[in-house]
Structure 1
């Protein structure tokens, strides 16, 4: 009998294929709407401006996340920056195949949340995913630990504040993954400097997938 996994479920495959295809229009949409980068606007205003833009994790990055979750078998996965839920589906698929755990994800855009929840229901993974609406620095404050895997893929200048918020709930061996480390060097610099400083208690590797993923193990 062939070994199957949830990423191969036709419902999940169809959803991911559709969303990756739609994400190919990100550049054109961003040009039309104006690049939603931090400046004088609040993060909520930026999220509203980017409501049509996927800003997805790469397909290979999604596979890496799936494998990490399968290997670690986390009780709790936290995601900062759900967008339309491409990365969330990879995380939840791995949780489903582990037979244990949950995914807690965060998003500011009401439109993206509504769309993602429909997708989660369509794929049969909605029972594993809790979506927290609003600023992650507030919504994640009450999440109980220990946290086994954290994915940081929201606004890059908030990655370090979100990590510091969650840090007391990381156990020894927890993994923290930050996406787009090559693309977002400027805004991510404080975060990268922090996790790469041995005195802060992490062991790091930069994984060369697409725009780079920084994988940090809590020591």
Structure 2
């Protein structure tokens, strides 16, 4: 059986992107990030248009496995950046032989680059990158949605989830990245409260992922 994730053209794109992301980490200007604390989401996206902010490789493998196992018809990604996580999601959809990935990204630079990376990996045919504010670009996306990845601005993860809830399929999976950040506290409190309809568990990959089932 072919595993698209392991195909040379996919691995070469992922290796290149992870290498560039590692270079980001070596040269990232932390004070500059702090200066953006009062900026809007769009202003931050434009200011950080050259910064990768990716999921980890093990986090990507987890996403691939979750999509393969759950076989969703519709996958939504909040926060595409340069498309590293999108490649994992799209590879899984391709191997399932069904479904489509809808990514969202505010930075026009990143939208164009993510599309190029997907095409280079041969996965552009199963993924659509929507430019702009996810709360607007996803408003007309029809359900049922089988899997959601939340990896955009952390203060927006809960609002985006709430916007999508009425379109989540029973048993849908919601994955949130970087749960070690303080700005994810409200989100975690929400999905970990049984009254809100989720069964949720933290998964120990780099920076932490929360996997929540819409039960």
For Structure 1 versus Structure 2, the TM-score category normalised by the shorter chain is over 0.9
- Aligned-partner SS, 1:82: coil
After TM superposition, what 4+ stretches of structure 1 lie above 3 angstroms from structure 2? none
Deviation of 1:39 after TM superposition, in Å, equals 2.5
Secondary structure of 1:35's partner? Answer: helix
- 1:142–1:180 Cα change, 3 Å: same
* Corresponding position of 1:72: 70
Which residue number in structure 2 is paired with residue 31 of structure 1?
29
1:195 is matched with: 191
Contact 1:36–1:50 (8 Å) recurs in 2: no
Cα distance in 2, alignment partners of residues 25 and 90 from structure 1: 21
Deviation of 1:36 after TM superposition, in Å, equals 6.2
1:156-209 Cα deviation digits (max 9, x unpaired): 000000000000001210000000111x1x111111110011100000110000
Normalising by structure 1, report the TM-score. 0.95
User: How many equivalent pairs are there?
Assistant: 215
Query: Could you say what secondary structure the match of 1:41 adopts?
Result: coil
Q: Distance in 2 between matches of 1:45 and 1:114?
A: 18
Q: 1:218 & 1:41 partners in 2: Cα distance?
A: 33
Cα offset for 1:114? 1.1
Length-normalised TM-score, structure 2? 0.97
Residue 131 of structure 2 is aligned to residue 133 of structure 1: yes
- Which residue of structure 1 aligns with residue 211 of structure 2? 215
Structure 2 counterparts to residues 21-170 of structure 1, below 5 A: 21-31=19-29, 34-35=32-33, 39-170=37-168
Distance 1:100 1:38 in 2: 40
Retained in 2: the 8 A contact 1:148–1:174?
A: yes
- The runs of 5 or more residues in structure 2 that have no matched partner are none
Distance verdict in 2 for CA 1:8–1:37, change over 3 Å: farther
Unaligned runs of 5+ in 1: none
